[in-house]
């Protein structure tokens, strides 16, 4: 599985960005798919993911501002980021997990896309 993220950039506080991630490399069923981020000198953290195709989980600080969604037919996941704040500045990574039902669990990471929010 290869994950390719796009859509990062430089915006001002209060503006919006939409990140996209395309999965390729075969036919897969994702247990979890979504987004993490890592700010300078900080640990990587979960931003928003979809588990088992229906349940969403958000970092508390982005809840109400960010929305994760997926297009299963196109093997894509999106992150709509509204009301961006300078503290949202980070490299955003697409993430997916496969496995279970007798198959080993595997984590996949895309190359990050940089989001910079200026004040």
| pLDDT attached to residue 27 | 67
Segment-wise mean pLDDT, segments of 10 residues, the chain, 119 residues: 95 98 85 96 97 94 97 93 98 94 91 96
The alpha carbon torsion through 40, 35, 67, 2 (nearest 10 deg) reads 130
| pLDDT attached to residue 101 | 82
| 48 in Cβ contact with 55 (< 8 Å) | no
Angstrom distance (rounded) from CA 64 to CA 82: 9
Evaluated on CA atoms 3, 91, 44, 86, the torsion sign reads: negative
Angstrom distance (rounded) from CA 78 to CA 86: 21
With CA atoms as reference, report the closest residue to 117 among 5, 26, 17, 27.
Answer: 17
| pLDDT attached to residue 29 | 85
CA 22 to chain CA mean position, Å: 11
With CA atoms as reference, report the closest residue to 36 among 95, 98, 119.
Answer: 95
């Amino acid at each position: 599985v290869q994950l390719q993220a796009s859509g990062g950039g430089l915006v001002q506080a209060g503006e919006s960005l939409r990140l996209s991630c395309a999965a390729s490399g075969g036919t897969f069923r994702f247990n979890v798919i979504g987004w993490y981020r890592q700010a300078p000198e900080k640990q990587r953290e979960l931003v928003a993911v979809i588990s088992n195709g229906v349940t969403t989980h958000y970092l508390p600080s982005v809840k109400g501002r960010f929305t994760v969604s997926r297009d299963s037919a196109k093997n894509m996941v999106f992150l709509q980021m509204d009301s961006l704040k300078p503290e949202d500045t980070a490299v955003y990574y697409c993430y997916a997990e496969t496995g279970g039902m007798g198959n080993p669990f595997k984590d996949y990471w895309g190359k990050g896309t940089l989001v910079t929010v200026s004040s």
